[in-house]
């Protein structure tokens, strides 16, 4: 599965005094998308870390198109860009209920050995589930 989507409502604490989502919260929304993408393959970040694999973000790009506001139902679409190696890349689109694009984003994460702190290849079990 190379695409996954999740939907949730913007909480009050994620907004500024104007009711607009604070820009820093979008990184968390992308993380939520990645976590659920991985879970849809039958894996979890927690289990990966227990198995000695860390997955830090090494690059993050956000292009804001329109503001999300308090109580909006937003949908984060997470798309695996290409087959991972020592890095894994995702594209994202965040939509509101009117199906308007709020944000387009891109992240790059690196597979890191928890003990050595060195880059490593994507776990084979994940590669077997990916259809790229």
> What residues act catalytically?
16
Q: How far apart are CA 122 and CA 114, in angstroms?
A: 13
Q: How far apart are CA 34 and CA 88, in angstroms?
A: 11
Task: Select from 131, 34, 23, 108 the least CA-distant residue to 76.
Answer: 34
């Amino acid at each position: 599965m190379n695409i996954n989507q999740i939907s949730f409502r913007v909480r009050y604490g994620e907004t500024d005094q104007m009711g607009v989502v604070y820009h820093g919260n979008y990184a968390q929304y992308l993380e939520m998308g990645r976590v659920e993408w991985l879970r849809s393959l039958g894996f979890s970040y927690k289990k990966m870390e227990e198995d000695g694999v860390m997955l830090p973000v090494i690059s993050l790009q956000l292009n804001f198109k329109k503001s999300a506001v308090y109580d909006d139902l937003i949908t984060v679409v997470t798309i695996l860009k290409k087959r991972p190696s020592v890095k894994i890349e995702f594209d994202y689109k965040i939509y509101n209920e009117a199906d308007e694009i709020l944000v387009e984003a891109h992240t790059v994460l690196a597979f890191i050995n928890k003990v050595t702190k060195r880059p490593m290849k994507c776990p084979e079990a994940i590669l077997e589930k990916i259809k790229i």
